[in-house]
Structure 1
Amino acid sequence: MLRIILGVLVGIAVGSVCVWAIETVNHLLYPFPAGMKANDMNAFKSYIDNLPFFGKFMVIIGYAFGALASGFISTKISKNGKPTAAIICGLIFLSFTIYNMTVLPTPIWFWILGILVWTLVLAGYKLALNKNSFK
């Protein structure tokens, strides 16, 4: 049980770093407007609303890398051969994603991909079971 908890915690941390890294690249490609304050939610909503397709799609790419990494790492750490830790990671990330999509202006395609992409934790789980993957 402790290995599963540790797997989930590390999986969430690693997945979060992956999402953050891709979103950081995205902010380099599509910087915030000059003078925008970090805590100004209306300005942030306007930024998201005016972000081009690729800027929004990069967020989905970040989610995909986060899902794969968290599924992989949580499975490797839990060492029980079951997808439990990976699924828990996916559900936690999914709940954060749904919250973000409810408070920010996101199109329907983003909702669909934003929900489906977290099933990639199971691909990370499968990769972790591969005997040739990192031990």
Structure 2
Amino acid sequence: MVRRILAVIAGIIVGSIGIWLMERLGHSLYPFPAGMKLDDIEGFKAYVDNLPFMGKFIVILGYALGALLSGFVATKVANNNKPTAAMICGIIFLFFTIYNMVLLPTPAWFWVLGIAVWGLVLVGYKLALNKNKG
């Protein structure tokens, strides 16, 4: 039981790092406006609203990377060949993704991909299983 809890925690941490790295890339390509404070929710909403397609798509790529990494790591740490830890990571990330999409101005395509991409935790799970066989 403890191992499965640690697996979910490890999956969330590693997945979050993957998302953060991609979002850092996005912010370097599409920087915040000069003088904008990160705690200024209205300023952040305006920033997101004015991001070009690629700026928003980089966030989706970050979610995809986070999903793969969290599914892979959670499965490896759980070490029980079951998708449960990976799926719990995906559900947790999905909850926060939906929260962000409700809070921020995101187009319909972002909603579709933002929800669908968390299914990639199962790809991470499968990759982890394949590594166990080799």
Q: How far 1:132 moved relative to its partner? A: 6.0
Q: Which residue of 1 aligns with 2:14?
A: 14
Q: CA RMSD in A?
A: 1.2
5 Å matches for 1:1-135? 1-131=1-131
For the structure 1 residues 131 and 45, does the alpha-carbon distance in structure 2 shift closer, same or farther, using more than 3 Å as the test? Answer: closer
Gaps of 5+ in 1: none
Distance (whole Å) between structure 2 residues aligned to residue 62 and residue 5 of structure 1:
24
Aligned partner of 1:30: which letter?
Y
Give TM-score, length-normalised by structure 1: 0.97
One-letter amino acid matched to 1:23: E
Specify the code of the residue in structure 1 equivalent to 2:103: V
Q: Deviations over 1:50-84 (max 9, x none)?
A: 00000000000000000000000000000110000
Describe the superposition over 1:87-123 as per-residue Cα deviations: whole angstroms up to 9, x where unpaired: 0000000000000000000000000000000000000
SS in 2 for 1:130: helix
Report SS of the residue matched to 2:106. coil
Structure-2 separation of matches of 1:91 and 1:39: 26
Aligned positions, number = 134
Read off the aligned partner of 1:17 and give its amino acid letter: I
Counterparts of 1:37 and 1:81 in 2: how far apart (Å)? Answer: 44
The residue identity in structure 1 corresponding to 2:28 is: L
In 1, the alpha carbon distance for the partners of 2:30 and 2:131 equals: 40
